[in-house]
Chains A and B, each alone.
Chain A
Amino acid sequence: MKSSDQKPNQGDSRRDFLKKSSVITAIALTPGAAIKAAENNADERFAELFEKIPLKLTVNNKAYQTIVEPRVTLLDYLREELHLTGTKKGCDHGQCGACTVHVDGQRINACLSLAVMNEGKKITTIEGLANGDTLHPMQAAFIKHDGFQCGYCTPGQIMSAVACVREGHTNSRAEISEYMSGNICRCGAYPNIVDAIIEVKEGGQTI
């Protein structure tokens, strides 16, 4: 990631932008104090004020209400704000799958989604899978089949594996490999991960 001193490639400065752009459109998503500033003058103080916007979402069945900078990714929000560090930051560019979480039941890369894009959504992370001290069947199957070595990719692998079974993309080892290809394991536990997924699928329980 580039440091924040880098200027945009073209166009006006932030100050010019703020002066010219209509502040009215921002108001619906802006704290009250910023609206006040907007009514007075659109200066740099206003810029600072509207950098954080309100966010409501549910994570692992718990409701959260907060304010957040628009540039914060869902991954950073989960890890840094909610301290749910089970979801891992691998590449931070959507190439490794370590940050896989479920949003409204669908698996996504949390590193390429802004937290504010998830307003009102239900997020499930690896911390939300187990039922108290009882492991989720996929977690138990990963342990049984040695589906990891160092373990860094494992939360993402498990979240992806659960989705893979729910989607029904488990009809052959090849299909499982294809639909798990968004999760990279540099220790090379792939065959064991496929074994774990097959066991859960053949177990037939609703997961």
Chain B
Amino acid sequence: MINFQYLRTTTVKSAIALLVKDKNAKFLAGGTNLIDLMKRGVTAPEKLIDINHVPLKEIKQVGNKIYIGALTSNTAVADHALVKEKLPLLSWALQAGASAQLRNVATVGGNMMQRTRCGYFYDTEMPCNKRQPGTGCGAMEGFNRMHAIFGTSDQCIAVHPSDMCIALVALDAEVILANAKGERKIPFKEFHRLAGDTPQLDNNLKADEMITGLEIPINNLAKNYHYLKVRDRASYAFALVSVAAAFETVDNKIIDVRLAMGGVAHKPWRLTASELFLKGKEASLTNFEQAAQLAMKDAKGFGGNDFKLKLAPNTIIEALNLAKSKA
């Protein structure tokens, strides 16, 4: 690992002040992805600002929302009584990710900022427009079994690897971002980006900003929900396809529904058309099947990942079925 300057700070204000001083500086939270990327030479920041002592580890109810500090560990969020009771979908998604050891260290903000696990991005001998813009995409005609089927560009077909983010986009979370002047909030679905012509950018965080927390509205989706993750082994593997599904029914009519997918796009992929279709309809297998077909409208395979064109709709149907049978 190339050496770097290490700084430690205890406040949001000083963390941002240190960050804006140098464009080659990065925040260091849990480090479970960043340190790995530095070991492999994928990234080489000249300055790391350790923010682990910044007090952003609170989870609390504020009005009709749950606030979660950006430096809360994945384990702390998944195990928190408020999250388990009010937002069980988030708790489930978190527990489907990584391992117990990693979840103890990985933070909410770091989870959002983690990079793709595309093999071409990780291998510095390979072309990759995300790692080194203009060098091409090795995955497009290479090994692309893990890659995207939605929202791809001719520059990049990588996927966002998070489980947590799939639940958060489904739950209409908001991201709190701070800079030296103050705070702004953006919808979670607008945090991550599609690759487009700028695959080097994973998200819309500005160079002078820090993620300080999340706000998630409390909903009535804590009864019928499921996070279904399909992967190459039973645990501790990234998703081939994952689906966050939750709905609320009155007299078996769906009045609110959330669907989002992981492992299929450069960002957490919300299934808006499927949600619109299901609203007001009966929670039945036929309707689930139609919703799944709607979700696949613009899907495109790249050879190695063609199986996802079948796996994805099947996973949507199964996740909805499991959500239904949970009540």
Contact = CB atoms under 8 A, between A and B. Distances in A.
B5 A9 contact: no
Contacts of A106: 75, 104
Given A6-B44, A177-B235, 17 more contacts: A1-B40, A2-B2, A6-B124, A8-B44, A9-B43, A21-B21, A26-B5, A71-B38, A107-B101, A108-B101, A112-B105, A113-B35, A160-B100, A181-B235, A182-B102, A182-B236, A183-B99
Contact of B6 (A21, A53, A112): A53
Contacts of B303: none
B308 interface: no
B235 A14 contact: no
Contact of A97 (B5, B18, B99, B131): B99
Interface stretch (B24-32, B253-261, B265-273, B283-291): B24-32
Q: How extensive is the interface on chain B, given as a class?
A: 35 or more
B24 A97 contact: no
B35 A25 contact: no
B235 A117 contact: no
Main secondary structure of the interface of B (DSSP, over half): loop
B183 interface: no
A8 B24 contact: yes
B1 A112 contact: no
B154 interface: no
A182 to B, nearest CB: 2
Interface in A99-140: 100, 106-109, 112-114, 116-117, 119
Contacts of B203: none
6 contacts: A4-B2, A70-B4, A70-B48, A112-B31, A167-B100, A181-B235
A110 to B, nearest CB: 9
Contacts of A70: 3-6, 48
Interface string B1-45: 111111110000000001001111000100110011011110111
Contacts of B147: none
A112 B29 CA distance: 11
Contacts of A22: 21
Interface of B: 1-8, 18, 21-24, 28, 31-32, 35-36, 38-41, 43-48, 50, 52, 75, 98-102, 104-105, 124, 131-132, 234-236
B110 to A, nearest CB: 11
B135 to A, nearest CB: 10
B21 A182 contact: no
Contact of A25 (B21, B75, B99): B21
Contact of A113 (B31, B98, B131): B31
A161 B132 CA distance: 41
B101 A17 contact: no
A109 B2 CA distance: 20
Contacts of B6: 29, 53, 70, 114, 116
Interface of A: 1-2, 4, 6-9, 11-12, 14, 17, 20-22, 25-26, 28-29, 50-51, 53, 69-71, 73, 92-94, 97, 100, 106-109, 112-114, 116-117, 119, 160, 163-164, 167, 169, 177-183
A71 B4 contact: yes
A94 B33 CA distance: 9
Contacts of B104: 106-108
A117 B28 contact: yes
Contacts of A1: 1, 39-41
Given A21-B5, A70-B6, A114-B31, A100 B101 contact: yes
Nearest to A1: B39
Which of A26, A109, A160: most chain B Cβ within 10 A?
A: A109
Instruction: Tell me which of A73, A94, A97, A178 has the highest count of chain B C-beta atoms within 10 A of its own C-beta.
Output: A94
